[in-house]
Amino acid sequence: MKEKVYKILAINPGSTSTKLSVFENKKEIMQEVIRHDKNLINKFNIITEQKDMRKEYIYKFLKNNKCEITTIDAVVGRGGMIKPIESGTYEINESMIKDLNNSKASLHASSLGGLIASEIGKEHGIPSFIVDLSLIHISEPTRLLSISYAVFCLKKKKKKKKKK
């Protein structure tokens, strides 16, 4: 039997850029680094206010690459400033969203990864994850371990739904 192919949108916000990739399981099929004009970035009082602007760029990236959001099985965002957890991939929950929206988290662009992934997931009914990158950088080859884990989580979630 042929293995199910999961399409995963990966979001890695930085201080002046947003790195985006779409994977089919472990294989990266498209990627782009969006550079944000510093003058535009400086108009925002805190980093979390950039969420909607960056989300628009993500939808534009998908559209430009003829990738329908309905074909995405999961969204993975770079972790952010949340309460300490072991490095890894986690499904986003309300406690994490609260942490990502707190005043300290709003000082670091990585907090946008989980916030944007969560919003996109909720808007389109797809699972959203964060990758806590204590030791991993999502733009490095090791990011595949976290993408692979997201695929594993999706498979596990699908099996649970079938059992119900």
DSSP letters spanning the chain: -PPPPPEEEEEEE-SSEEEEEEEETTEEEEEEEEEPPHHHHTT-SSGGGGHHHHHHHHHHHHHHTT--GGG--EEEEE--S-S---SEEEE--HHHHHHHHSTTGGGSTTHHHHHHHHHHHHHHT--EEEEE-SS--TTSTTHHHHHHHHHHHHHHHHHHHHH-
**pLDDT attached to residue 144:** 46
**pLDDT attached to residue 95:** 81
Residue 117 has pLDDT above 90, yes or no: yes
**pLDDT attached to residue 82:** 67
Residue 134 has pLDDT above 80, yes or no: no
pTM: 0.78
> Greater confidence, 55 or 105?
55
